[in-house]
Amino acid sequence: MNKNKRKIVYWAPWLPKQDERHWNILYIEPQKLLSKVVKEVSSLDDIRLKNMIRCPAFNNIAKNIFYIENPIRTEFEVIDGNIKYIGEHSYNCNPNENLKNTFTYGGSYIFFSEDDLEIMMTAPYFSQTEHTNYARLVPGKFNISKWFRPINLEMILHGDKDYFKALEHEHMAYFQFLTDDKVELRRFELNDTLFKISETCSKVSDWWANVPLIKRYDRFLKTKTNKLVMKEIKKQLVD
């Protein structure tokens, strides 16, 4: 592995166009899990923990895991398939009409890279959280250089539970980039072209059902949709 080699990953909040409000204010940039763990453990007088984070088995996994925080405290009940918020805050949670006890939590994210790179989303298994007492996150993996679609936080309530709570700042998900190279995040903002492409990829099963990812990837590259996405992202860079 070349320690100086890096992969650039472009990311943006994925905001529903039908909402007249602009929810950028709710999206905190994904943060490196390893940096947080190192900072927390460094303040402790425990040599065993410090040795743990130096261990290659842990370090190699954690270095390219990024976590996202819950922007506001959210508490609700699911009554007859509808979400009823408790308290003063509400955070764009939508029940799934087709699957019982499932819902999409909050905002979605979207990532892209010019390099061949897979992303894997998992529950925040190394973080202390409140919401995992009530629901579990549906994991997923795909290639962000060969497909351009938002990543939604799809949750399944435990058992017959109809109640959910997540505290402000707790970790809601991990995004792990499956590479040994260093990952650098760069922010962009979706424009209409990027939004339409992402919508097309997101709803591919509506117009191209039962097609494996490998075939979707092939179509994405052959039509140079990856080039079009990158061209638009460069116009929309924030940093």
The pLDDT tens digits of the residues spanning 177-194 come to 999 999 999 999 999 999
**What value, to the nearest 5°, has the Cα angle with vertex 110 and ends 107 and 116?**
155
87 inside domain: no
17 inside domain: yes
User: Quick one: pLDDT at residue 90?
Assistant: 82
101 inside domain: no
User: Quick one: pLDDT at residue 226?
Assistant: 98
37 inside domain: yes
Q: What is the mean pLDDT of residues 126-143?
A: 96
Residue 110, CB-side half-sphere exposure with 13 Å CA sphere: 24
Give per-residue pLDDT as tens, 40-58. 777 767 777 778 778 888 8
100 inside domain: no
Dist CA 229 CA 145 (whole Å)? 10
Q: What is the mean pLDDT of the chain?
A: 90
Token output for 205: 């099963």
User: Quick one: pLDDT at residue 187?
Assistant: 97
User: Quick one: pLDDT at residue 19?
Assistant: 67
Residue numbers of the domain that contains 120? 6-71+111-151+170-235
Token output for 196: 């339409």
20 has pLDDT over 60: yes
2 has pLDDT over 60: no
**What value, to the nearest 5°, has the Cα angle with vertex 142 and ends 138 and 145?**
145
Number of neighbours of residue 159 by Cβ within 10 angstroms: 8
86 inside domain: no
Which residue has better confidence, 43 or 68? 68
38 inside domain: yes
Worst-scoring range by mean pLDDT, 77-81, 112-116, 196-200? 77-81
Domain count, the chain: 1
13 inside domain: yes
User: Quick one: pLDDT at residue 39?
Assistant: 80
> Which strand ranges, in their side-by-side order, compose the sheet holding 108-112?
108-112, 6-14, 182-187
